Amino acid sequence: MVSTTLPTWASGLWPAPTEAGPAPAGAIDRPIAFEPMSEADLDAVHAVETSAYGHPWTRKHLRDSLQAGYPAVMLLGEALPGEHPHPPRADGRWLMGYFVAMHGVEEVHLLNITVSPVHQRQGWARFMLQALALWSRGQGAHTLWLEVRESNAPARRLYERCGFQAVGVRRGYYPLTTLQREDAIVMSLRLDERAAT
Ligand SMILES: CC(C)(COP(=O)(O)OP(=O)(O)OC[C@H]1O[C@@H](n2cnc3c(N)ncnc32)[C@H](O)[C@@H]1OP(=O)(O)O)[C@@H](O)C(=O)NCCC(=O)NCCS
């Protein structure tokens, strides 16, 4: 069944893109919006997830996150003349990226951040992290946490560039093959001291 109600975190507190910071310098100038992810979006989100990542979340994993009420936000961009956004959405906009987080006591844990391959290296992940940091501070969080695969060099570089620091290792945290596992690097960003930049 498709959920039609917005979760409580989505009501009024999410920053508009203009509040998150200047639009990425290298980005194409297109109107963008942050919108809460709902179950109706799962086909498009899962299509981006599998196209962007060698270790994608399953559709069930995404759906369970929504049903658990985790903040899940999409970055949507208007199609410019002549563009045919993929994956297709009913409103004709691009699903440029999204993230899923978990709100704890005075902290927020980033569970997933993904940018569609066509829109990568244009500053959108940094932009989404800025928005997440702004929202998290508004919720009273002092720290943003995440885990990243040791081998995921692009993501590790992104987090370092946004001010995250490696604070630990979880041995064998992620499945790698049916027989092997991979370590996770635990990273954190103090929201009191600096924003994700
Ligand atoms: C990681 C990911 C989210 C980055 O998204 P993005 O929108 O391309 O990142 P940005 O354009 O905002 O990049 C910001 C910085 O991150 C670093 N970065 C991003 N992608 C990189 C890459 N492929 N190689 C090296 N550095 C990279 C760079 O330092 C970059 O700054 P610069 O362009 O000024 O050098 C994207 O590659 C992705 O969706 N990957 C698959 C899913 C994934 O791994 N998610 C993270 C799970 S923990």
pLDDT in tens, 24-69: 765 667 888 889 999 999 999 999 999 999 999 999 999 999 999 9
Mind listing the pLDDT tens digit for each residue in 87-128?
A: 989 999 999 999 999 999 999 999 999 999 999 999 999 999
Cα–Cα distances (Å) from 139 to 2, 29, 158, 159, in that order, read 28, 30, 24, 21
Is residue 128 lining ligand 1, measured as CB closer than 6 Å?
A: no
Report the SS3 class of residue 109. Answer: strand
Ligand 1 atom nearest to CA at 146? 48
Question: What are the structure tokens assigned to 114, written together?
Answer: 């993904």
How much is the pLDDT for 30? 82
How much is the pLDDT for 25? 64
How much is the pLDDT for 12? 42
pLDDT at 14 exceeding the cut of 90: no
Closest protein CA for atom 21 of ligand 1: 154
Decide if 108 contacts 9 (C-beta within 8 A). Answer: no
For ligand 1, pick from 75, 109, 121, 170 the residue to mutate: most ligand atoms within 8 Å of CB. Answer: 121
Is residue 123 lining ligand 1, measured as CB closer than 6 Å?
A: yes
Is residue 130 lining ligand 1, measured as CB closer than 6 Å?
A: no
Closest among 107, 9, 108, 99 to 57, alpha carbons compared: 99
CA of 48 to the centre of ligand 1 (A): 15
Helix (H) or strand (E) holding 187: strand 181-190
DSSP 141-169: --EEEEEEETT-HHHHHHHHHTT-EEEEE
Question: What are the structure tokens assigned to 19, written together?
Answer: 């509040």
Whole-prediction pTM: 0.91
How much is the pLDDT for 4? 36
Domains of the chain: 30-190 (3.40.630.30)
Sheet of 165-175, strands arranged across: 32-36, 72-77, 94-103, 107-115, 143-149, 181-190, 165-175
Ligand 1 atom nearest to CA at 121? 11
Among 2-11, 19-28, 117-126, 147-156, name the one with the lowest average pLDDT. Answer: 2-11
Q: Which amino acid is at 23?
A: A
Q: Could you give the residue numbers annotated as active site?
A: 147, 159
Q: Kindly indicate the confidence band of residue 1, based on its pLDDT and cuts at 50, 70 and 90.
A: very low
Can you list the positions of beta strands (E) in 48-164?
72-77, 94-103, 107-115, 143-149
> In the chain, what percentage of residues exceed pLDDT 70?
85
Q: d(Cα 106, Cα 113) in Å, to the nearest integer?
A: 21
Closest protein CA for atom 28 of ligand 1: 158
